[in-house]
Amino acid sequence: MRKLLITASVLALGLAVMPASAETIRWARNSDALTLDPHSQNQGTTHTFVHHIYETLVDRDVEGSLQPRLATEWKVKEDDPTVWVFKIREGVKFHDGSDFTAEDVVFSLDRARSEKSNLKQLHSAVESVTAVDDYTVEVKMTGPSPLYPNNLTNTFIMDKGWTEKNNAVEVQQAGSTDDNYAVRNTNGTGPYILESRDPDVRSVLKINANHWAEKKPDITEIIYLPIADNATRVAALLSGEVDLVQDVPVQDVERLANTAGINVETGPENRFIYFGYRFGDAPLKSSNVTDKNPINDPRVREAMHLAIDRNAIQKVVMRGQSIPTGVANPPFVNGWTPELAAYPEKADVARAKELLAEAGYPDGFSITLDTPNNRYVNDEAISQAVVGMLGQIGIKVTLASRPIAQHSPLIQNSETDFYLLGWGVPTFDSAYTFNDLIHTKAGHFGAYNPSGYTNPELDKQIESLATEIDLDKRNATIAEIWKKVQEDRVLLPIHVQVLAYAMKDKFSLAVHPENQPRMYEVTVNK
């Protein structure tokens, strides 16, 4: 720590006298990476930062398709559908100069799926990893796993020798009492080298002159600055203290876009916002209807679906920065169709009221809506708008707003009747969503399904997706599952989030669908 801080202050002094160069970018976002240990946290902010230092076998581009990175090609072994073969890039060196080989890949994948890793879910189907030669790795799966490479986009490759030498083979776990070397020190193959780091304050990355890629990044130095407060972050860009702001509040997009010298890029994120509610016969905990569960009646769910004016939310609450949707699936993700995504253009209050009356609630009922207030874009305001819209059909909603740290336990412990949540799909495949949101809560499945929705037939179909190799057949099953999910209105989707990056107009950078902007992709307009 001491050494790190000394370098930090020496560097800070150095910066003070250095002339501002076109290659430095000061990059601000709302929070810092939690750790530099690449296998310790499965969390977007951390991955985004670590992507500059470490590299993955495969990468996802801004269109969402898989691209080679440290692996040059990958395919299922011809005679064995349960084995994936990765060809490894040659001539790659780690920052400390040691060679990158298949050994490092085996080591890293084993570390990533080790007991203490937070990435182990993504590798749960892996049986063993072996190096065939210096540049070929085989991954044996427990069964056919046609989509396994999709799980590798955030699994970073570490140097075996370096990690062993520094006693960092075991992944640092949250709550452990040992200080782990890999949390604060890095040795990756990536385009930037960690120069200094002061968590929550500032991290500096310098370009890796020996990086394998032919095209050298325009940006030679990254100064990463977490600024938690929205207004302060926007102010820092307006006053010229930072060059790029990643988490731009939607209401400030227009102002920034109209500010001379600032350029705003927007694009959809691979994340949808939806409401969930409690199924089952047991009465709701927060309702005035105490003998049964109104939501269990499909007519009530249909009425709620009809009462929500998604276009109004998009226009007013989100300032146009969202894509309203009728399905809980972002458009990039396998299984999405425009038909599924269709939604009522306007709220149909009359029909919704009729349905409620038919269901036996002509005067509506009351319920509490639990919403986070610091996690998704305008989460609290979306919920507030929905309270009003449901109010118009007679459903009296009490809004309970909490920070995400207090909101998520309600979901994990199934303590909520009605809740807002956002969901990203890192594998770009519907199965990921089905596993966690639709499947009955049991074992590895349904971790984020507090609703009590259960359908054994659907569960079986969902489970079959993991091992189905025939992609056409698999896609047909996905379509069937979505059809049933939509029929039952298991979820009440609102929109797909749109991201905005604001930057000085000499820089340009397209929005990354997983909100993982890469500074080496920034172009400097000369």
Partner 1 sequence: MLAFILRRLAQSIVVMAVVALIAFMLFRYVGDPVASLLGQDSRLQDFEELRERLGLNDPFYVQFGRFIANAVQGEFGISYRLQQPVSELILSRLPATIELAFASAIIALVFGLSLGVFTALKPRSFAAGLIMTLSLVGVSLPTFLIGIGLIYVFAVELQWLPSFGRGDVVRIGSWDTGLLTSTGIRSLILPAITLSLFQLTLIMRLVRAEMLEVLRQDYIRFARARGLSNRAINFGHALKNTMVPVITITGLQLGSVIAFSIVTETVFQWPGVGSLFINSVQVVDVPVMAAYLMFIAFVFVVINLIVDILYFAVDPRLRIGSGRR
Partner 2 sequence: MSSTNNSTAAQKPRTRFQRIWDSDVFFSFRRSPVTIVAALVTFILILAALLAPWIAPYDPFNPASLNLMDGFTPPNSESMMGNYFVLGSDHQGRDVLSTILYGSRISLFVGFLATLFAMAMGISLGLLAGYRGGTTDAIIMRIADIQLSFPAILIALLIFGIARGIIPPSKQEGMAVWVLIVAIGLANWAQFARTVRGATMVERQKDYVSAAKLIGVHPLRILVRHVLPNVMAPVLVIATIGLALAIIEEATLSFLGVGVPPTQPSLGTLIRIGQQFLFSGEWWILFFPAITLVLLALAVNLLGDWLRDALNPRLR
Residues that bind partner 1 (CB under 8 A): 1-2, 5-6, 8-10, 12-13, 15-16, 31-32, 34-35, 37, 40-43, 118-119, 121-122, 172-180, 183-184, 198-202, 225-229, 231-233, 235-236, 238-241, 374, 403-406, 408-409, 412, 423-424, 436, 441, 443-444, 447-448
Distance of alpha carbon 221 from alpha carbon 12, whole angstroms: 13
User: With contact defined as beta carbons under 8 Å apart, do 340 and 493 qualify?
Assistant: no
DSSP 355-366: HHHHTT-TT--E
Nearer to partner 2, 213 or 323 (CB): 323
Sole window of 133-141, 251-259, 331-339, 433-441 interacting with partner 2 (rule: CB under 8 A): 251-259
Distance of alpha carbon 489 from alpha carbon 409, whole angstroms: 24
> Out of partner 2, partner 1, none, which partner does residue 118 contact, by CB within 5 to 8 A per kind?
partner 1
To the nearest whole angstrom, how small is the minimum distance from the Cβ of residue 381 to partner 2? 6
Helix (H/G/I), strand (E/B), else coil: 132: strand
To the nearest whole angstrom, how small is the minimum distance from the Cβ of residue 457 to partner 1? 23
Nearer to partner 1, 117 or 293 (CB): 117
Does 257 bind partner 2 (CB under 8 A)? Our answer is no
Does 408 bind partner 2 (CB under 8 A)? Our answer is no
Strand partners, 317: none
Does 30 bind partner 2 (CB under 8 A)? Our answer is no
Q: Which listed residue (316, 342, 469, 476) binds partner 2 by CB under 8 A? A: 316
State residue 381 phi and psi, 5-degree precision.
-65, -35
Q: Which listed residue (7, 173, 220, 392) binds partner 2 by CB under 8 A? A: 392
Q: Which listed residue (415, 470, 480, 505) binds partner 2 by CB under 8 A? A: 415
> Out of partner 1, partner 2, none, which partner does residue 465 contact, by CB within 5 to 8 A per kind?
none
For 208-294, strand residue ranges (E) read: 221-226, 244-245, 262-277
Contacts of 77 (CB under 8 A, 6+ apart): 83, 84, 85, 138
Length of the chain: 526
Instruction: Sort residue 64 into left (φ over 0), alpha (ψ -120 to 50) or beta.
Output: left
User: With contact defined as beta carbons under 8 Å apart, do 334 and 428 qualify?
Assistant: yes
Strand partners, 472: none
Residue 472: CB atoms within 10 A of its CB come to 8
> Out of partner 2, partner 1, none, which partner does residue 384 contact, by CB within 5 to 8 A per kind?
partner 2
Which DSSP helix (H) or strand (E) runs through 420? strand 418-424
Angle at the Cα of 12 from the Cα atoms of 11 and 17, rounded to 5 degrees: 95
Helix (H/G/I), strand (E/B), else coil: 127: strand
The closest of 514, 508, 498 to 61, measured between CA atoms, is 514
Sole window of 96-104, 106-114, 207-215, 313-321 interacting with partner 2 (rule: CB under 8 A): 313-321
> Out of partner 1, partner 2, none, which partner does residue 368 contact, by CB within 5 to 8 A per kind?
partner 2
User: With contact defined as beta carbons under 8 Å apart, do 485 and 185 qualify?
Assistant: no
Helix (H/G/I), strand (E/B), else coil: 162: helix
User: With contact defined as beta carbons under 8 Å apart, do 430 and 150 qualify?
Assistant: no
Does 373 bind partner 2 (CB under 8 A)? Our answer is yes
Does 379 bind partner 2 (CB under 8 A)? Our answer is no
> Out of partner 2, partner 1, none, which partner does residue 192 contact, by CB within 5 to 8 A per kind?
none
Sole window of 54-62, 81-89, 220-228, 232-240 interacting with partner 2 (rule: CB under 8 A): 232-240
Does 345 bind partner 2 (CB under 8 A)? Our answer is no
- As to burial, measured by CB atoms within 10 angstroms (0-12 exposed, 13-18 middle, 19+ buried), residue 304 is buried
To the nearest whole angstrom, how small is the minimum distance from the Cβ of residue 381 to partner 1? 19
Specify the residue for token string 């594998």: 427
Does 31 bind partner 2 (CB under 8 A)? Our answer is no
Q: Binding string, 143-182, against partner 2, x = CB under 8 A? A: ----------------------------------------
State residue 500 phi and psi, 5-degree precision.
-135, 130
Q: Which listed residue (37, 159, 243, 309) binds partner 2 by CB under 8 A? A: 309
Residues that bind partner 2 (CB under 8 A): 230-231, 234-235, 238, 249, 251-252, 254-255, 285-286, 309, 312-313, 315-317, 368, 370, 373-374, 380-381, 384-385, 387-389, 391-392, 394, 396-403, 406, 410, 415-417
